[in-house]
Amino acid sequence: MKLILASSSPYRRELLERLQLPFSTISPEVDETPLAGETPNQTALRLAQAKARKVAESHPDALVIGCDQVATLEGLQLGKPLTHDNAVKQLRLVRGRIVNFHSAMCLYNPQTGNMQAEDVVYEVKFRMLSDSQIENYLVREQPYHCAGSAKSEGLGIALIEWMRGDDPNALIGLPLIRLISMLEKEGVAVI
Question: Which domains are present in the chain?
Answer: 2-185 (3.90.950.10)
Residues 6+ apart with CB under 8 A from 94: 73, 78, 126, 148, 149
Measured CA to CA, the distance from residue 160 to residue 128 in angstroms comes to 9
Residue type, 27: S
What's the pLDDT band for 153 if we cut at 50, 70, 90?
A: confident
Residue 34 has pLDDT above 90, yes or no: no
Q: What's the pLDDT score for residue 147? A: 85
Measured CA to CA, the distance from residue 163 to residue 100 in angstroms comes to 10
102 and 119 Cβ atoms separated by less than 8 Å: yes
Task: Give the count of beta carbons closer than 10 Å to the beta carbon of residue 64.
Answer: 27
Please state the rounded mean pLDDT for residues 175-191: 96
What's the pLDDT band for 79 if we cut at 50, 70, 90?
A: confident
Predicted confidence (pLDDT) per residue in 88-135, tens digit: 999 999 999 999 999 999 999 999 999 999 999 999 999 999 999 999
Signed CA dihedral, 171, 175, 176, 177: sign only: positive
pTM of the predicted model as reported, rounded to 2 decimal places: 0.90
- Residues forming the active site: 68
Type and span of the H or E element at 162: strand 160-164
